Amino acid sequence: MPRVTVKDKWKMKKWYKVVAPPVFESIPIGTTPADEEWKLLGRVFEVTLFDITGDFSKHYVHLYFQVHDVQEGVAYTRFKGHELARDYLKSIIRRKSSKVAAIVDVKTKDGHVLRVQGMVLTAFRCKTSQKRAIRKELVRVLTEKASELTLDEYIKAMIFGQLANDMFEAAKKIYPIRKAEVYKSRMLYIPTEEGLKKAVIVATSPR
């Protein structure tokens, strides 16, 4: 009976270097195996801001990058979204105060569309009418800033706290505020020549 040779699929895989988007200086964030380059397209990688900057105080900021191109053994990614760790969010929410959140789809100056979730925590419990007024201000800040900034500028504003500061300043005019955060974002649309195709990849992937 002839001997059957079984191929080791794992040995057939090639390792690719994965790099962060240019907004994060394209630094290497890891390696990943694949037997075909095209199988890497759309793959999502999770890192923390600590992994990117080396600042341990930012370990609770989780970033999601999605592969959109592969060349010469390097998988290039783009920003897919971010979120703050649940443990961190639990640690800043206190009793006898109010949480006011806003979820809004925004469009950046260069045509990217993101779904952004921001919130403020008040110093004390506030009235429903005050919550409504604060939420309106959050939506205004998140939307207006997006229209004034490019995607890369908006990402930096979300991740490094400037957008949260703007929300804080706007909301405190209505009621005393203790904390403001942009706690989650997700890319919805990318305006490229293959924008529709790539937007579908973004929208249908797990994160």
pLDDT in tens, 38-75: 999 999 999 999 999 999 999 999 999 999 999 999 99
How far is residue 112's CA from residue 197's CA, in Å, rounded to a whole number?
Answer: 14
Percent of the chain with pLDDT over 70: 87
The 10s digit of each residue's pLDDT in 84-141 is: 999 999 999 988 899 999 999 999 999 999 999 999 999 999 999 999 999 999 999 9
Cβ atoms of residues 65 and 47 within 8 Å:
yes
Is the C-alpha dihedral spanning 143, 144, 145, 149 positive or negative? Answer: positive
Domains identified in the chain and CATH numbers: 9-84 (no CATH), 86-189 (3.30.479.30)
The closest alpha carbon to 173, from 120, 105, 94, belongs to 120
pLDDT band at residue 10 under the 50/70/90 scheme: low
Q: In angstroms, how far is CA 108 from the centroid of its own chain?
A: 14
- In degrees and rounded to multiples of 5, residue 91 shows phi and psi of -70, -25
Residues 133 and 141: their CA atoms lie apart, in Å, by 13
Query: Is 137:97 a contact under the CB 8 Å cutoff?
Result: no
Mean pLDDT of the 1-11 span? 51
Instruction: Using pLDDT thresholds of 50, 70 and 90, give the confidence band for residue 16.
Output: very high
Contact at 8 Å (CB) between 167 and 90? no
How many Cα atoms are found within 13 Å in the side-chain-facing hemisphere of 87? 4
Looking at every residue in the chain, the average pLDDT score rounds to 89
The C-alpha atoms of residue 24 and residue 52 are separated, in whole angstroms, by: 7
The HSE-up count of residue 10 (CA atoms within 13 Å, CB side) is 0
At residue 132, the pLDDT reads 97
Q: How confident is the model at residue 11 (pLDDT cuts 50, 70, 90)?
A: low
Mean pLDDT of 155-161: 96
Closest among 72, 82, 76, 69 to 27, alpha carbons compared: 76
Q: Is the pLDDT of residue 199 over 70?
A: no
For 129, other C-beta atoms within 10 Å of its C-beta total: 9
